[in-house]
Amino acid sequence: MGERGAEGPERTGPIPYVERSRAYYLAQGYGNPYNWAFHEDVPFAPLAKPLAESRVALLTTAAEYDPALGDQGPWAAYNASAKFYRVYSRPTDVIPDLRISHIGYDRVHTSAEDMNTWFPLAALREAEDSGRIGEIGPRFHGLPTNRSQRTTIEQDAPEALARCREDGAEAAILVPN
Amino acid sequence: MSLIARHLEANGIPTVIMGCARDIVERCGVARFIWSDLPLGNSCGRPFDVGSQRTILGMALDLLESARAPRTTVQTPYRWGLDDAWKDDFWRVDEDPERMARQRAEFDRQKAIAAERRKEAEC
């Protein structure tokens, strides 16, 4: 399947996660494969003013480290105890300790040692300092990873919007994991 | 997260997603997407590679300004290793039924914990 350039290494295209997850869970004996969201139409909002004058929100699926909730890494196995089910918000003027042990990331090839690979606050601060953006929103927002799309749409999305509005956000960066 | 981005866009807040699972995000359909061909868990760059992290965030900010229409995906230049062999390992169906059974048992155990956590949160 891979392609090799004249001298380069073998490369393949993007991982087909949707197909892979179906095949994997069927092989495990589950009868109802997860139905990943699909939409024909996509909403689009242009920037209202230059980015250098805009307040930028940061949204993450990562969780705050809580020593009471078992191994959260680096190198942690999948840890459902660290899951959360309500949107949370924390100030952006301190660097938090966020973990992704509750998320199905690639544990074979990724150790989850460097938070900056899933939470870009340090890089965003540089962008703020250099004037590339107006400012970072006063809080970042943590979003639950619900299996139920209905819960995400009916509960978490309106909550995220309300908090971004309270913060006066004029653009948002979202990082799934 | 793609569903959240869609809701913000529909309500006037421009968004950009930084991610690794290209098919999942594009299937959901988002306005702007910075895609890195890296293992899940590295949406914002390679570990301890500040240059990649800075560049990818910069590309996300650029895309907030430059996208003219929804479904704009931009690929970052980063690779995980000397080849793409790592891609075969994720959600790989194990040939050994016993190992698969162990994986399923652990999955079911974690699902029960998650259900318990959810119940606590709803109380």
pLDDT, tens digit, 9 for 90 and up, residues A21-70: 999 888 888 888 889 999 999 999 999 999 999 999 999 999 999 999 99
Which has more confidence, A33 or B41? B41
Q: Is the ipTM of this complex over 0.85?
A: yes
pLDDT at residue B60 is higher than 70: yes
Q: Is B13 in contact with A172 (Cβ distance < 8 A)?
A: yes
pLDDT at A31: 82
User: Which residues of chain A does B28 touch, with a Cβ-Cβ cutoff of 8 Å?
Assistant: 36-39
A41 located within any domain = no
pLDDT at B64: 98
pLDDT at residue A8 is higher than 80: no
Token pair 């690979």: residue: A117
Q: Which of A47, A173, A14, A42 is nearest to B71 (CA)?
A: A42
A58 located within any domain = yes
Q: Assess A73–B contact: CB distance below 8 Å, yes or no.
A: no
Angstrom distances, CA of residue A13 to CA of A155, B23, B84, B113: 35, 11, 9, 35
Query: What domain range includes position A124?
Result: 51-175
Q: What is the pLDDT of residues A81-95, one digit of tens each?
A: 999 999 999 999 999
pLDDT at A30: 87
Considering the domain architecture, whether residues A6 and A80 belong to the same structural domain is answered as no
A25 located within any domain = yes
Which has more confidence, A61 or B82? A61
Q: Is B70 in contact with A116 (Cβ distance < 8 A)?
A: no
Considering the domain architecture, whether residues A18 and A56 belong to the same structural domain is answered as no
Considering the domain architecture, whether residues A115 and A171 belong to the same structural domain is answered as yes
Q: What is the pLDDT of residues A93-122, one digit of tens each?
A: 999 999 999 999 999 999 999 999 999 999
Q: Assess B66–A contact: CB distance below 8 Å, yes or no.
A: no
Share of chain A above pLDDT 90, in %: 84
Q: Assess B59–A contact: CB distance below 8 Å, yes or no.
A: no
Considering the domain architecture, whether residues A76 and A112 belong to the same structural domain is answered as yes
CA-nearest residue of chain B to A4?
Answer: B83
A46 located within any domain = no
Considering the domain architecture, whether residues A85 and A14 belong to the same structural domain is answered as no
Residue B34 burial by Cβ neighbours in a 10 Å radius (0-12, 13-18, 19+): buried
Q: Which of A42, A157, A175 sits opposite B44 (nearest CB)?
A: A175
Instruction: Mark which residues 80-139 of A lie under 8 Å from B by CB.
Output: 80-81, 83-86, 100, 103-106, 108-114, 116-120, 122-124, 126-127, 132-133
Measured at the alpha carbon of residue B92, what is the angle toward residues B90 and B94, in degrees to the nearest 5?
145
DSSP for A30-95? -SS-------S-------SS-GGG-EEEEEE--EE--GGG----SSPPP-GGG---S-EEEESSS-
Q: Confidence class of residue A1 from pLDDT cuts 50, 70 and 90?
A: very low
pLDDT at A105: 94
User: Based on the structure, what is the number of domains in chain A?
Assistant: 2
Considering the domain architecture, whether residues A14 and A77 belong to the same structural domain is answered as no
pLDDT at A2: 55
Please, which contacts does B89-92 make with residues 24 or more away whose CB atoms are closer than 8 Å? B89/A106, B89/A108, B89/A109, B90/A15, B90/A17, B90/A20, B90/A106, B90/A108, B90/B39, B90/B40, B91/A17, B91/A20, B91/A21, B91/A23, B91/A24, B92/A24
Asked if residues B40 and B18 have their Cβ atoms less than 8 Å apart, the reply is no
Torsion-angle region of residue B101: left (phi > 0), alpha (psi -120 to 50) or beta? alpha
The arithmetic mean of pLDDT across residues B11-37, rounded, is 98
pTM of the prediction?
Answer: 0.95
Q: Confidence class of residue A15 from pLDDT cuts 50, 70 and 90?
A: very high
Residue B18 β-bridge partners: B34
